[in-house]
């Protein structure tokens, strides 16, 4: 059984990826510091897969702890690196925290991965690396614009760190998955997006408002140059996204990569405005959502949706779920955890 390390494996995307890895027969080791996740997620993973991953609570900013972990797990054949702070708005308020957490931990991880017998690394990147792209849909060849937020900048710099390392360390094989906006939950309703405190992302705020936990949803900006004045994003079901990580990992394990650093957009190829996402929620839930318009939020781009042709043809992956599918699963998850 091949052992795969998933950092941030109890987080939203990480936990769904662990499920898909275990379903494919991999042995999984999870590192998570539980700063933005819950140990209860581990129970959900076990309940879905019937198998318990190894779990170690560890702060990846502690370099010595990272070194000690890899001394114990020398048989790891691949790493999927999710662990990072991820909220655009928060990164604007706390830039140094984001640079410390997202870049230092990446460097510590890469140093240890290079000491393994096989150095396969999947990086959790983001469409934020494109900044405000000049053309839609966005291809992997789109010029990288100045980042609109410290979070986006950490993903740009993160990719540069990996690319520079791959140039001199040819034994390192890496793929950066630039994904768009993950939403939804596992169909079992046993794992999903579980933000601590006030949600930083749109969909959990929508479902929490629908469940009565929030009085009103703020829509940041209604004067963008879009059809309805609200921002446009490419919303991808988290299970589709999780499966993309497994496909990318298999590409490296099977040595099918063309170069030792590759990038792929992971999205649906469909852009949806904030108001369209609200309408989707109202459609699948049968509930009317209370929302109001608020001033634009610093760090938000106008529009971002993917050209997924490279992922479809080269990686052999395609998103299978649409917006309503993802919103329905997100609402079912919300109802499940709130006992509605």
Half-sphere exposure of 198 (CA within 13 A, CB side): 7
- Which tens digit of pLDDT belongs to each residue from 51-64? 999 999 999 999 99
Same domain, residue pair 286 and 166: no
| Strands, sheet with 272-273, edge to edge from the N-terminal-most edge strand | 272-273, 232-233, 303-304
78-89 average pLDDT score: 92
Q: Is 179 designated active site? A: no
263-269 average pLDDT score: 98
Same domain, residue pair 159 and 217: no
CATH of the domain at 298: 3.90.25.10
The answer on pLDDT for 40 being more than 90 is yes
Question: Domain limits at 291?
Answer: 202-233+269-307+321-338
Please give the model's pTM, rounded to 2 decimal places: 0.96
Predicted local distance difference test score (pLDDT) of residue 3? 98
Per-residue CA distances from 308 to 45, 145, 175, 236, 305 (Å): 29, 19, 15, 12, 9
Confirm whether 25 is domain-assigned: yes
Per-residue CA distances from 108 to 59, 77, 126 (Å): 11, 17, 20
Predicted local distance difference test score (pLDDT) of residue 132? 85
In the structure, what pLDDT confidence band is assigned to residue 88 with cuts at 50, 70 and 90? confident
Same domain, residue pair 241 and 223: no
Predicted local distance difference test score (pLDDT) of residue 230? 98
Same domain, residue pair 177 and 229: no
Per-residue CA distances from 63 to 4, 55, 101, 219, 230 (Å): 20, 18, 12, 40, 42
In the structure, what pLDDT confidence band is assigned to residue 339 with cuts at 50, 70 and 90? confident
Same domain, residue pair 89 and 226: no
Confirm whether 197 is domain-assigned: no
- Which tens digit of pLDDT belongs to each residue from 89-139? 889 999 999 999 999 999 999 999 999 999 999 999 999 898 888 899 999
The answer on pLDDT for 83 being more than 90 is yes
233-252 average pLDDT score: 98
Q: Domain count for the chain, please give it.
A: 2
Confirm whether 190 is domain-assigned: no
- Which tens digit of pLDDT belongs to each residue from 317-326? 999 999 999 9
Per the residue annotation, which of 98, 108, 130, 151 is the catalytic one?
151
């Amino acid at each position: 059984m091949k052992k795969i390390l998933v950092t941030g494996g109890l987080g939203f995307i990480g936990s769904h990826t662990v499920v898909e890895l275990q379903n494919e027969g991999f042995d999984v080791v999870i590192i998570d510091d539980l700063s933005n996740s819950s140990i209860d997620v581990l129970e959900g993973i076990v309940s879905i897969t019937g198998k318990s991953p190894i779990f170690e609570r560890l702060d990846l900013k502690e370099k010595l702890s990272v070194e000690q972990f890899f001394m114990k797990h020398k048989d790891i054949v691949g790493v999927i690196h999710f662990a990072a702070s991820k909220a655009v708005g928060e990164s604007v308020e706390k830039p140094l925290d984001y640079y410390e957490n997202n870049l230092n931990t990446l460097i510590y991880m890469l140093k240890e991965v290079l000491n393994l017998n096989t150095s396969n690394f999947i990086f959790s990147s983001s469409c934020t690396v494109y900044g405000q792209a000049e053309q839609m849909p966005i291809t992997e060849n789109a010029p990288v614009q100045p980042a609109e937020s410290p979070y986006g900048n950490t993903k740009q710099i993160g990719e540069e760190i990996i690319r520079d390392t791959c140039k001199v360390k040819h034994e390192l094989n890496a793929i950066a998955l630039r994904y768009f906006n993950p939403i939804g939950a596992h169909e079992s309703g046993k794992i999903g997006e579980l933000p601590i405190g006030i949600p930083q992302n749109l969909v959990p705020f929508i479902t929490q408002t629908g469940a009565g936990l929030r009085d009103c949803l703020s829509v940041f900006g209604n004067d963008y140059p879009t059809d309805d004045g609200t921002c446009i994003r490419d919303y991808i079901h988290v299970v589709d996204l999780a499966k993309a990580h497994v496909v990318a990992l298999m590409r490296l394990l099977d040595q099918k990569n063309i170069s030792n650093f590759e990038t792929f957009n992971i999205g649906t190829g469909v852009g949806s405005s904030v108001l369209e996402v609200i309408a989707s929620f109202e459609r699948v839930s049968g509930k009317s959502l209370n929302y109001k318009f608020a001033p634009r939020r610093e760090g938000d781009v106008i529009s971002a949706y993917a050209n997924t042709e490279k992922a479809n043809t080269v990686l052999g992956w395609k998103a299978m779920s649409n917006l309503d599918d993802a919103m329905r699963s997100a609402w079912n998850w919300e109802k499940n955890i709130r006992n509605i």
